[in-house]
Amino acid sequence: MGERLAEEFGETWVYESIVGALPGVDISERTAVTIQIAVFEASILLVAWLYDLWQAVLPGTAAVIVAAIGSALMLRLGASIRRLPTPANYQRLLFGSSVEVVLGVLAFIALVTHLFVFDPARSADPIITALFGPDPPVLAVYLMLLILWDVAYRIGTGWWAAVTAIWRAYVYDFPQGTAWAFARTDLLNLGFAVAQLVLAPFVWDRPVLAAVLVAHVCAVTAATSLSVGLSLRGRFA
C-alpha cells in the first residue's frame, strides 16, 4: 500500500515511472531485466553482423550486463526501502527529486566529451576508432551511446542513493531491526558499484577512464561505509 501511494504521488525514480506509465504493461522485475538484456544484446549482435564489428561485441556485452545489474538492484533497492518505515522526507528526496537524472546526465556528458574530444586529441588509438574503425557507422555509435546512457543513468542513481543514505543515517535514529534493514539496502547500492568493475579490463589501457572507474567505486564504498556506520552507531554497545 505504501509503495502504491508513493507511486501515485510521483515518488519513484524516473526509470520506474516510465515502466509504470506504459499502458497495459505489468511485468515482473526479472522479466523486465531479461527483456532489457535480450533487446540490447540482440541489437549489438545485429550491428556487429551488419558492419563486421565483432571486436565491439565483448565490451558492448559487458556494458549491457552492468546496466542490467544496475536495473535489477535499482528495482530491488526501491522496493526494499518502500517496505520499510521510511521517513516521508527521505523517500521524497530519494525518489521524487529526479536528482539522479541530473547526476546521470553529468556523468554521460563527461563520458561523451572524453570519447569524442579528449581521447581523440591525446591518443594514437582512440576508443571509437578501436571499436568501430576509422569511419564509424552511425547506427553503431547510436547504439553505443544508448547503452552508455543506460549505464550512466544508473551510476547517477547510485550516487544519489549513497548521498541520501548518509543524510538519512545522520538525521534519523531507527530501532535496531530497521537500522540493520536500511544498512542492507545501502549494501545493494555498493553491490552495483562493485559490479561496474566488470568494465575494468576494457578500459585498463585507458588511464583516465580506468582511474575514474576505480575512484568512483572507492567513493561509493566510502559513502556506503559511512551510511552503514551511522545507521548502526551504538548498536554494538
List pLDDT tens digits, range 178-230: 999 999 999 999 999 999 999 999 999 999 999 999 999 999 999 999 999 99
43-61 pLDDT, tens per residue? 999 999 999 999 999 999 9
More confident position, 171 or 234: 171
- Please check the confidence at residue 15 and state whether its pLDDT lies above 80: no
CA separation for the pair 166, 164 (Å, rounded)? 5
State the cell numbers at 1: 500500500
Cβ contacts of 169 within 8 Å, gap of 6 or more = 182, 186, 226, 227, 228, 229, 230, 231
For residue 44, count other CB atoms closer than 10 A to its CB: 23
Between 3 and 126, where is the model more confident?
A: 126
Which is more confident, 236 or 42? 42
Q: Give the pLDDT confidence of 87-102 residue by residue, as tens digits.
A: 989 988 888 888 989 9
Look at the block and give the residue holding cell 564489428. Answer: 53
The per-residue pLDDT for 50 is: 96
Residue 184's contacts (CB-CB under 8 Å, 6 or more residues apart) are 80
Whole-number percent of the chain with pLDDT over 70: 86
The helix/strand count (H/E) of the chain reads as 12, 0
**Lookup: cell for 135:** 569511419
Return the number of other C-beta atoms located less than 10 Å from residue 58's C-beta.
Answer: 12
Using the predicted structure, report yes or no on whether residue 237 has a pLDDT greater than 50: no
| CA dihedral of 184, 189, 195, 199, whole degrees rounded to 10 | -170
Q: What are the domain boundaries of the chain?
A: 2-231
Minimum mean pLDDT range among 21-30, 42-51, 52-61, 136-145: 21-30
Single pTM value for the model: 0.87
- Per the prediction, the chain carries an average pLDDT of 87
Task: Give yes or no for a contact between 104 and 154, defined as CB atoms under 8 angstroms apart.
Answer: yes
Smallest CA-to-CA distance from 151 within 196, 215, 213, 106 is with 196
**Side chain identity at 137, as an amino acid letter?**
P
CA distance 91 to 79: 12
Q: How many CA atoms lie within 13 A of 6 on its CB side?
A: 28
